[in-house]
Amino acid sequence: MKKNISAGKFKYLFEGDEEFFYKPESGMRLIFDDVSKQLKSIQFTLINIYDNSGVYSGEMPYPFLHSMDRAIVRALMGESNSVGSPEKIPVIGIVGGYDSYTHKLSEQYPNTEIRFLYLADLRVHALIFEHFA
């Protein structure tokens, strides 16, 4: 069954932004391209320390868990294609960087970059699936 999302449910982070989002449930955000209206990414918030938008508590995509750290991610996924180092971000504080995978699980998630964002203690606070052409 195909369902449409009513226009009033979409939000832009900034005026003039090139993408907009929809939050179907707590801790999940669907990001769409403003021009094509195509789904670009799905973001799961697993630990929320930045705002009051909640955490995702629904079923996780296989093989991921609600509670992971960098050691678990690397045991599941191996070496990442791209790594972001921990850094200090104004207002937010220290973040633990990220691991990005573009060729792992490609049969299950074709043309998809899988990105894990870490807190300073290296627990995963967000899991992002982003489509690439």
Q: Helix/strand/coil (H, E, C) string of 81-129?
A: CEEECCEEECCCEEEEEEEEECCCCCCCCCCEEEEEEEECCCEEEEEEE
What's the pLDDT at 47?
A: 95
pTM: 0.86
What's the pLDDT at 7?
A: 59
Cα→Cα distances 48→16, 29, 76, 103, 110, Å: 26, 13, 23, 28, 28
> Which candidate, 39, 61, 37, places its Cα nearest to that of 116?
61
What's the pLDDT at 96?
A: 87
What's the pLDDT at 8?
A: 60
For the chain, 133 residues long, the average pLDDT of each consecutive 10-residue run is 58 71 91 89 92 88 95 96 88 85 92 95 96 86
What's the pLDDT at 117?
A: 95
